[in-house]
Amino acid sequence: MSSSRSIFISYRRSDTNAETGRIYDRLVTEFGREHVFKDVDDIPLGADFYEHLDQAVGQCQVLLVIMGKTWATVTDANGRRRLDDPDDFVRIEVEAALRRQIPVIPVLLEGVSIPTREQLPASLHSLVRRNGTQVGHDPRFHPDMNRLIKGLQGLMQAVAPSGNSGNSGNSGTPSLPPLPTFFFEVVSVDGRGKVTGREQRQATYQPVDLGQGVTLEMVGVPGGRFQMGSPADEGRDYERPQHEVSVGPFWLGKYLVTQAQWRAVSALPRVKADLPTAPSKFSGENKPIELVSWNEAVEFCHRLSRSTGQTYRLPSEAEWEYACRAGTTTPFHFGETITTDLANYRGTGWNLGDITYSGNYGAGPKGEYREKTTEVGSFPANAFGLYDMHGNVWEWCQDHWHDNYAGAPTDGSAWLSANEGANRLLRGGSWSNYPGSCRSAYRGRLARDLRHLVVGFRVVCVFS
């Protein structure tokens, strides 16, 4: 197998042999046979197959996991599920890629969904969060493959070796290892909520080891300028005046802080305040933490900062909106409207006193009301690779509440006042809110010492 610009295809012959052969042939046509690796029949006699597979996967730039209907359930001659066997070839291949932080892309054949965490061994749990792609039967096969190939081209270019361009001669400065990247799909919709585009993207991230087998992933958000707030034909007066803001680069949590991450950090030594170990109503390791106050979110950042030696904090309101929009100017980063296929919010109509709230936004459709949080990463990311920026739980920001943007900072910093008792900003909406509250520009507020089962947060790390 070629040691550069290579694609490793992991599959089960009993599950997808014919389909994988067709996918392989199409990839070979595009990338060349020397850059696509499919079979491991050439393991030398007497060789340790675990080491051989680990080394083979280590030479690739991306691993495709072809998933058919029996990928997770197929059993051996003794009736044992193969995926539960540590010596299962497919399990070894995927584990090796995840351990080496090689991009892993689930390729879901028609009618197949990605397995749940409960269906996977613990070593493969992070596979649930990997954005995959569908490859259907004819006539969908070639359009689906075109989308996969386009994504692979961008991904492989992003992780291709840089040669000697960084350091050469006798500069004496060692080159830093490249930061890992991940692959994801960005979805766009029209004003009626119909999907009009699917684009493959990649982004840089930093994995932060929190101990106890828990990792925090921080995504690199590039600096830039944007129009903050709502135009005259959208939103509320407290979202105006719309104004230009310049934001520097920063690292932002790929996901909302999860309950597993909260537990790991809350176990660290106290800095300024005590933290509850398991405050959430909707329990789940990968569900977002909720029922935490602004004060407790800040203490989480203090403990994480002291433990890692890096500066962690809540995002400013400007940073949050800039990150949510990810270059868009529409009410949602998906487009002019939103659907419950794309985010977790109240998609049914409801009454609050004399006010009736619609479960849809604009000309978009009504949807479902899940009545609880969902696991982070369950819905498509935005163009920066950030998940759940609309709905699931509200997110605490640093800023004090102001009734409008008159006099607001334009440098991306938090807008504070002399009143430390002021309400703090909330952004993003939640599982319990109607879709208009989940817009990129919508602003919420809550007292800093209050907890609510619709409120969580994500963290910023100062860029370095």
Quickly list H helices, 315-358: 317-325
User: Residue 96: its pLDDT value, please?
Assistant: 85
Interval 381-390 mean pLDDT: 97
Tokens of 180: 């890992």
- What is the residue-wise DSSP string for 294-315? HHHHHHHHHHHHHHHSS-EEPP
Share of residues in the chain with pLDDT > 70 (%): 91
What domains does the chain contain, in order, with CATH numbers?
Answer: 7-159 (3.40.50.10140), 188-462 (3.90.1580.10)
Confidence grade of residue 170 (pLDDT, cut at 50, 70, 90): very low
Least confident range from 1-10, 136-145, 298-307: namely: 1-10
pLDDT digits (tens, 9 = 90+) for 450-460: 999 999 999 99
pTM: 0.67
What value does the mean pLDDT take over residues 151-158? 73
* pLDDT at residue 354, as a whole number: 86
CA distance 306 to 47: 46
Helix (H) / strand (E) element for 17: namely helix 13-31
More confident residue, 58 or 15: 15
* C-alpha 184 chain-centroid distance: 8
H/E stretch holding 93:
helix 89-99
pLDDT band at residue 328 under the 50/70/90 scheme: very high
Res 173 pLDDT > 50: no
198-212, 273-287, 308-322: the lowest-pLDDT one: 198-212
Predicted pLDDT at 42: 53
Residue 160 confidence (pLDDT) above 60: no
Joined together, the tokens standing for residue 278 give 């398991």
Distance CA(344)–CA(372), nearest Å, equals: 9
- Of 248, 236, 159, give the one whose Cα is nearest residue 203: 159
What DSSP state is assigned to residue 422? S
Residue count of the chain, please give it: 464
- What percentage of residues in the chain have a pLDDT greater than 90? 65
* Tens-digit pLDDT profile for residues 101-121: 788 999 999 889 889 888 999
